[in-house]
Chains A and B, each alone.
Chain A
Amino acid sequence: MNLKKYLVRALHRLQKGPGYTYKELLVWYCDNTNTHGPKRIIKEGPKKKLIWFFLTLLFASLVFWQWGILINTYLSYNVTSSLSIGFKTMKFPAVTVCNANPFKYSEVKHLLKELDRLIEAALERILQPTPGNVSDSVSPPLDLQLWNQIPLVLIDEHDKDNPVILDIFETNQTAGDNETAASSETAGDNRSSEGNETTTYGETTVGNQTTAPPAPANTTTEEKKYKLAVKLCSHQGSNNCTYRNFTSAAQAVTEWYILQSTSILSKVPLHERIRMGYQAEDMILACLYGAEPCNYKNFTQIYHPDHGNCYIFNWGMDEEALNSSNPGAEFGLKLILDISQQDYIPYLSSAAGARLMLHQQKSFPFLKDQGIYAMAGTETSIGVLVDELERMGYPYSDCTMNGSDVPVKNLYSQYNTSYSIQACLRSCFQNHMVEICGCGHYMFPLPKGVNYCNNEDNPGWAYCYFSLRSSIKQRQICIDSCKETCNDTQYKMTISMADWPSEASEDWIFHILSYERDMSTNVTLDRNGIIKLNIYFQEYNYRTISESAATTIVWLLSSLGGQFGFWMGGSVLCLIEFGEIIIDSLWITIINVISWCKGLKQKRARARYPDVPPTVSELVEAHTNLGFQHEPMGALPRGKALPPEPGTPPPNYDSLRVQPLDVLSPDSDAETK
């Protein structure tokens, strides 16, 4: 009972908002709100009222409009960048050194013997001015099996519209029966004609003498008449062939040789390939890090398909990465390398030197992309500045923290290396290659259960590879699916070179190094193989660009508050006030609806009532004389609260007004207690 009373009272108080009609409520709100505008509306004269009404409306809409802009700005997730430059103790970068040549020629000679003989013979034929001079001293017959898989052809462009394709060896073997092909696309476009080409086998009555390319000296026109091209067929003997032609024979030969040698080498197991490459103790002759000596054992060996055995200093895979806390060459890494240029594979790589690259710990070195050369017979000094870019991840920018959200299977994870965009792109390519060609390319790591491509098992792999490589669509797919890493570290290098060793010091340096490596008193090294490297931090060794969110939630709130405060002097409390008013008006609505419903019900009930409705005079009397009440209207049981004496005079308004005050006062008293 008590509780019910309390609840009723609470309800009563709740219902009794600042007013019982909308107007009252509004006036009350305007009068009492902390927002600056509304008060003015009700306090001013009619004209000013109107002005203030529109001003308030204008300010309110301005506030909302600018709030919209601010929230939009916040949701666009802008970043601000801060740049810091200086010197601090930093992890020394991982240094990968490789030889530009992947294998020792002396070790791989037995594998490449046939190939070398072929290319030599082919070059002989191409370069000989007159065919009569062809030396028949090539005693063992050439193994044309290898040649026929991917042949080199000469394209005779004397007749621009109808170029004649000459096979270099077949002309000699099968006299007079050479192969001509009308390739329509080779003339205008220097790019390799893609797609199907109808190769017509025509009976040409060209003699043995003329089929061999005539001396280029005969031609007088400016245009070069002969071009070398690589013929690629989808499978051997098929008509589905393309010719990759080259403006330069040197380029064509290199390309052809690389194709053939990868096919041969891909069959060699990995440990054998590692054995054929350069060994750490042969390559790294001296090493000094700061003041501490180091040797080849401090390097981690990794097999790189382009460059054979590569050695990484300070990779940080097994042990802690080394720190460098001093700038200058004295505190950096000093290396002396031997690349033994005499043992290079002649046709595979024409540039000689060491390939080196600085990269982050635990990342795979992509030497073809980021590597630099160091020239033999020189001292190369590399000053390093670490250029870091630290970005915020999603939603600020579209980058990946560790590559786990990239939909490409990272094949380089078998090296235990971190994600990088290069790894992603190569993995993406290799995955496509496996999917389309059925075998993996030799230059990239293999997915599980797939073999490297070679001519025997996959005769059309080269065709497939080149069509895939030149496909713009494939590249775009890979670019779209790979994401860059959020933390991008680049090593800016200042490279300078000097001759080394100097002529005066040459003798003793070669002697000591030869003795240390080969235990021989003879000089086994020469200028063409020896390289000195200095890698050190510059005076300023880092430049870090780091991002921070330009718009934080604090920023948003203060800006929102600023706007609201600026136009209307409002705050969150004002919003709460407004909410309260809305709730109040809802209550009013509910009360109105309920009373309206009740009124409706009463009306219906009255309509159903058989009695005649009370007359006006009756009703008036009911109001004026409390003692005389109409029975059915006694729905107000509270009438008993009123004194029933009929003798009292009818109350006037004043006393009636005072009364509720008395009724209410005990309530408030009780509450205060």
Chain B
Amino acid sequence: MPGGGAGRDGIPRSRGGGARVREGAGPAAAPSVPGPPAAAATAPGKKITARLKRTLPVRGPQAPTLSELMRWYCLNTNTHGCRRIVVSRGRLRRLLWILLTLSAVGLILWQCAELLMNYYSASVSVTVQFQKLPFPAVTICNINPYKYSAMKEYLSELDKETKKALETFYGFSEGKTKVRRSVDEWNSTGSDFFQQIPLLKVEDFSRTATDLHSGQKRKIEGSVFHKDSSIVNSGDSNDIIGFQLCDANNSSECALYTFSSGVNAIQEWYKLHYMNIMAQIPLETKEKLSYSADDLLLTCFFDGLSCDKRHFTRFHHPLHGNCYTFNSGENGTVLSTSTGGSEYGLQVVLYIDEADYNPFLVTSTGAKIIVHDQNEYPFIEDIGTEIETAAATSIGMHFTRSRKLSKPYSDCTETGADIPVENLYNKSYSLQICLHSCFQKAMVDSCGCAQYAQPLPVGAEYCNYKKNPNWMYCYYRLHEKFVKEQLGCQQICKDACSFKEWALTTSIAQWPSTVSEDWMLRVLSWDKGQKLNKKLNKTDLANLMVFYKDLNERFISENPANTLVILLSNFGGQLGLWMSCSVVCVIEIVEVFFIDSLSIVMRRQWQKAKKWWNDRKRAGPGKPPQAGDVERQGHDNPVCIDEDLPTFNTALRLPLPQDSPLPRTPPPNYSTLRLETAFTEQLPDTLELGPH
């Protein structure tokens, strides 16, 4: 017999039996509204109220006290468990049930918290789709960035210095055929490079270094950095060479970089100067110094059809010179393949002019390629694949697309717009771009100029000695910080949420085969045409095939594991399993434990306050407490507590309108009255059965 608070509130007033009273749902409504005025209503009014009472059997629990309310709640709630507490006999059993119920509540809370905490989890799904696939952009570079012959005017000084260094340190001089420049020239020219960054031979024990140029020994100041720190130095310390970088403003602050091998030292040293020189050459000139598309590409074949340099887009890479991107999507169209296999991919023969290589800058021969998306920037120096000459490299691709869920599921970025690092590359966001941009920004901020290998931020220019004599020291310091994650770039940059990946299977075959070498080279020389003065050599050629192994696209995506519907279902399952509870129960709990208990407490307080007030007002002992007692008795009286209190009133009055004061029928007691009311409903039925 569950009932709302309103009904319960109405009980004290219902002696008047007015439906009007029941409307007072407010718990603060005065409970002491006297009944008599309502009872004094006219006969039809009484009739209506009587009918209302019958048809709307709104009976709230008699719960003037909190414990009563609890008891009522436990007996009438929809949740299981509570009832057992009240119904059980014996203290032990009751305690047991209290414990069980409480543990069930605890379990529910725990499980629901668990469900809530796991709400932001993702499930991974892998779909494979067989379809026409967009062909990726393929960027091809010669390993050597610029034609050595064309670079002579810029690099001759540096080369001379390098050769001299080689001779001084190792007593090595190049074979007679290659040394065209006279040796005695060396002494006459001013050696800028050595003055700026001297190459040093380090004697570890004495911590003295021999300057290559002047030959004088000097004490090493500052810190010594071993570039190849992982290699344990052996005893022959006189083999260690390196170079010293000093802060130009404060010459006492120097850092000495040493290398266990002279090869690394010379190359690193050369590279520093090379970048310094290249930074001063404008882009247009550099593009001219590098290879043209005609130089690099001998033949091109895509999807069974011939293609030429118009399908390639030039892209100037600071370290690799001119690179050419096939299918860059620049003119809006992206080529696609609808057949897998080596015949239907991209086949190019590259001309690698080995004789025109820079001997110090690059020491390997071949080309570098990278397969990437049209919107991606090709980080060819980081993730390029090297192609061998005199061989056919076949690269089978397998396409995988992945997508992660962004916040709140994982910490990735969709577009990179929320990363506080300006994207210096004109391409879509990637982690690499972010890191490089971040470093470049830090470089510009702290060194005042930009590093050569990365794009220029607005308003900055590349570092060179003339303007920024300090940049190398600054760069090395900064780079060290960057590697040690002290710049904060690694923390700022997030990985991209979606990325495309082409898994490559690379294999190499001999090409051209011994028997086809002859005609192949002849025909290719003819292809090369007038620009070639000599016959091609097979070590100048590289054959490259890039194709889809199959047209299966794997799409790995994360999906939210939970939706709100599923979460609610799980809640419902938990609530139902432990306590057979539902939202209705929750509302009940809120109603009983908050609204009703509050109202009871308030009422109690109100009564107390009133009593106190009355006591004070009358200041006479005796009378007022009596009235209070009467009222309390009214509440505590079991008869009054009986829910049928209003019906009792009506029952008392009922015989009057019936106007049949039959003496033989005894005055009905409650139980028979109940029975009768039950049958008033059944009576018409039985009568109705008759005609049927």
Contacts A81-B124, A391-B128 given; does A566 touch B4 at CB 8 Å: no
Which listed segment binds A: B297-305, B364-372, B426-434? B297-305
Contacts A55-B587, A595-B691 given; does A247 touch B340 at CB 8 Å: no
On whether the beta carbons of B569 and A562 are closer than 8 Å, the reply is yes
* A163 interfacial by beta-carbon distance below 8 Å: no
Name the A residues within 8 Å of B692 (CB-CB).
591, 594-595
On whether the beta carbons of B338 and A475 are closer than 8 Å, the reply is yes
A573 to chain B, nearest CB (A): 12
A350 to chain B, nearest CB (A): 5
* A91 interfacial by beta-carbon distance below 8 Å: no
On whether the beta carbons of A44 and B130 are closer than 8 Å, the reply is no
* A143 interfacial by beta-carbon distance below 8 Å: no
Name the B residues within 8 Å of A368 (CB-CB).
341-343
On whether the beta carbons of B131 and A479 are closer than 8 Å, the reply is yes
Question: In whole angstroms, how far apart are the Cα atoms of A220 and B178 in the complex?
Answer: 31
* B652 interfacial by beta-carbon distance below 8 Å: no
Complex interface residues of chain B between 499 and 525 (CB less than 8 A to chain A):
503, 505-516, 518-520, 522-524
Cβ-neighbour of B23 out of A24, A46, A560 (below 8 A): A46
Closest-by-CB residue of A relative to B398 is: A490
On whether the beta carbons of B125 and A563 are closer than 8 Å, the reply is no
On whether the beta carbons of B543 and A421 are closer than 8 Å, the reply is no
Name the A residues within 8 Å of B683 (CB-CB).
656-657, 660
* A297 interfacial by beta-carbon distance below 8 Å: no
Cβ-neighbour of B526 out of A249, A375, A389, A571 (below 8 A): A249
Name the B residues within 8 Å of A421 (CB-CB).
130, 550-552
* B491 interfacial by beta-carbon distance below 8 Å: no
On whether the beta carbons of B396 and A370 are closer than 8 Å, the reply is yes
Name the B residues within 8 Å of A59 (CB-CB).
583-584
Question: In whole angstroms, how far apart are the Cα atoms of A495 and B542 in the complex?
Answer: 20
A334 to chain B, nearest CB (A): 18
Question: In whole angstroms, how far apart are the Cα atoms of A366 and B527 in the complex?
Answer: 32
Name the B residues within 8 Å of A181 (CB-CB).
none
Name the B residues within 8 Å of A259 (CB-CB).
none
On whether the beta carbons of A69 and B509 are closer than 8 Å, the reply is no
Cβ proximity bits A196-231 to B, threshold 8 Å, 1 near / 0 not: 000000000000000000001111101010000000
* B572 interfacial by beta-carbon distance below 8 Å: yes
On whether the beta carbons of B128 and A484 are closer than 8 Å, the reply is yes
Name the A residues within 8 Å of B349 (CB-CB).
248, 250
* A346 interfacial by beta-carbon distance below 8 Å: yes
Name the A residues within 8 Å of B123 (CB-CB).
80-81, 550
On whether the beta carbons of B300 and A44 are closer than 8 Å, the reply is no
Question: In whole angstroms, how far apart are the Cα atoms of A470 and B519 in the complex?
Answer: 29
* A422 interfacial by beta-carbon distance below 8 Å: yes
Question: In whole angstroms, how far apart are the Cα atoms of A493 and B398 in the complex?
Answer: 12
Cβ proximity bits A39-74 to B, threshold 8 Å, 1 near / 0 not: 110111111110000010001000000100110010
* B99 interfacial by beta-carbon distance below 8 Å: no
Which DSSP category, helix, strand, loop or mixed, fits chain B's interface? mixed
Name the B residues within 8 Å of A89 (CB-CB).
none
Name the B residues within 8 Å of A36 (CB-CB).
78, 582, 584-585
Closest-by-CB residue of A relative to B300 is: A247
Question: In whole angstroms, how far apart are the Cα atoms of A307 and B8 in the complex?
Answer: 94
Cβ-neighbour of A346 out of B25, B340, B519 (below 8 A): B519
Closest-by-CB residue of A relative to B392 is: A351
B167 to chain A, nearest CB (A): 32
Name the A residues within 8 Å of B580 (CB-CB).
565, 569
On whether the beta carbons of A565 and B572 are closer than 8 Å, the reply is yes
Cβ-neighbour of B509 out of A100, A127, A495, A563 (below 8 A): A100
B281 to chain A, nearest CB (A): 24
Contacts A422-B340, A595-B691 given; does A372 touch B507 at CB 8 Å: yes
B230 to chain A, nearest CB (A): 23
Question: In whole angstroms, how far apart are the Cα atoms of A244 and B518 in the complex?
Answer: 25
Contacts A216-B529, A389-B128 given; does A562 touch B568 at CB 8 Å: yes
Closest-by-CB residue of B relative to A556 is: B569
On whether the beta carbons of A127 and B526 are closer than 8 Å, the reply is yes
* B1 interfacial by beta-carbon distance below 8 Å: yes
On whether the beta carbons of B569 and A660 are closer than 8 Å, the reply is no
Question: In whole angstroms, how far apart are the Cα atoms of A237 and B530 in the complex?
Answer: 35
On whether the beta carbons of A660 and B682 are closer than 8 Å, the reply is yes
Q: What is the size category of the interface that chain B forms with chain A?
A: 35 or more
Q: What is the size category of the interface that chain A forms with chain B?
A: 35 or more
On whether the beta carbons of A422 and B576 are closer than 8 Å, the reply is no
Question: In whole angstroms, how far apart are the Cα atoms of A594 and B692 in the complex?
Answer: 9
On whether the beta carbons of A43 and B523 are closer than 8 Å, the reply is no
* B676 interfacial by beta-carbon distance below 8 Å: yes
A642 to chain B, nearest CB (A): 11
B554 to chain A, nearest CB (A): 8
Question: In whole angstroms, how far apart are the Cα atoms of A499 and B348 in the complex?
Answer: 26
Cβ-neighbour of B569 out of A345, A497, A550, A563 (below 8 A): A563
Cβ proximity bits B226-246 to A, threshold 8 Å, 1 near / 0 not: 000000000000000000000
The residue in A24, A399, A476, A559 that gathers the most chain B C-beta atoms within 10 A of its C-beta is: A559
* B126 interfacial by beta-carbon distance below 8 Å: yes
On whether the beta carbons of B7 and A566 are closer than 8 Å, the reply is no
On whether the beta carbons of A476 and B132 are closer than 8 Å, the reply is yes
Contacts A45-B58, A375-B509 given; does A558 touch B573 at CB 8 Å: yes
* A459 interfacial by beta-carbon distance below 8 Å: no
* A79 interfacial by beta-carbon distance below 8 Å: yes
* A126 interfacial by beta-carbon distance below 8 Å: yes
Contacts A59-B584, A247-B308, A472-B338 given; does A45 touch B22 at CB 8 Å: yes
On whether the beta carbons of B304 and A470 are closer than 8 Å, the reply is yes
* A326 interfacial by beta-carbon distance below 8 Å: no
* B626 interfacial by beta-carbon distance below 8 Å: no
Contacts A100-B509, A248-B349 given; does A12 touch B522 at CB 8 Å: no
Question: In whole angstroms, how far apart are the Cα atoms of A248 and B349 in the complex?
Answer: 10
On whether the beta carbons of A569 and B685 are closer than 8 Å, the reply is no
Contacts A40-B2, A353-B510, A657-B683 given; does A495 touch B569 at CB 8 Å: no
Question: In whole angstroms, how far apart are the Cα atoms of A550 and B573 in the complex?
Answer: 18
Cβ proximity bits B418-441 to A, threshold 8 Å, 1 near / 0 not: 000000000000000000000000
Name the A residues within 8 Å of B507 (CB-CB).
372-374, 380, 495
Name the A residues within 8 Å of B304 (CB-CB).
469-470
The residue in B305, B398, B510 that gathers the most chain A C-beta atoms within 10 A of its C-beta is: B510
* A123 interfacial by beta-carbon distance below 8 Å: yes
* B307 interfacial by beta-carbon distance below 8 Å: yes
* A661 interfacial by beta-carbon distance below 8 Å: yes
On whether the beta carbons of A251 and B301 are closer than 8 Å, the reply is yes
Name the A residues within 8 Å of B569 (CB-CB).
66, 70, 558-563, 566
* B443 interfacial by beta-carbon distance below 8 Å: no
Complex interface residues of chain A between 78 and 126 (CB less than 8 A to chain B):
78-81, 83, 100-101, 105, 123, 126
Cβ proximity bits A466-488 to B, threshold 8 Å, 1 near / 0 not: 00011010011001001110001
Contacts A248-B299, A566-B583 known; list 10 others, CB within 8 Å. A45-B58, A47-B25, A126-B523, A247-B307, A346-B515, A349-B513, A563-B565, A565-B580, A566-B569, A654-B665
Binding site for A on B (CB under 8 A): 1-4, 6-7, 10, 19, 22-23, 25, 56-60, 78, 123-128, 130-132, 294, 298-301, 304-308, 310, 338-343, 347, 349, 391-392, 394, 396, 398, 503, 505-516, 518-520, 522-524, 526-527, 529-530, 543, 549-552, 554, 559, 563, 565-566, 568-573, 575-576, 580-585, 587, 660, 662, 665, 676, 679-686, 688-692
Binding site for B on A (CB under 8 A): 12, 16, 20, 24, 36-37, 39-40, 42-49, 55, 59, 66, 69-70, 73, 78-81, 83, 100-101, 105, 123, 126-127, 190-192, 216-220, 222, 224, 244-251, 253, 341-342, 344-347, 349-353, 366, 368-370, 372-377, 380, 389, 391, 397, 399, 421-422, 425, 469-470, 472, 475-476, 479, 482-484, 488, 490, 492-493, 495, 497, 528, 545, 547, 550, 558-571, 591, 594-595, 598, 636, 638, 652, 654, 656-658, 660-661, 663
For the complex of A and B, the 4 pairs showing the least CB-CB separation, nearest first, are A566-B572, A248-B299, A562-B569, A569-B582
10 A–B pairs (Cβ distance < 8 Å), ordered by A: A43-B7, A48-B25, A66-B569, A217-B530, A244-B305, A341-B514, A495-B506, A545-B126, A562-B572, A566-B569
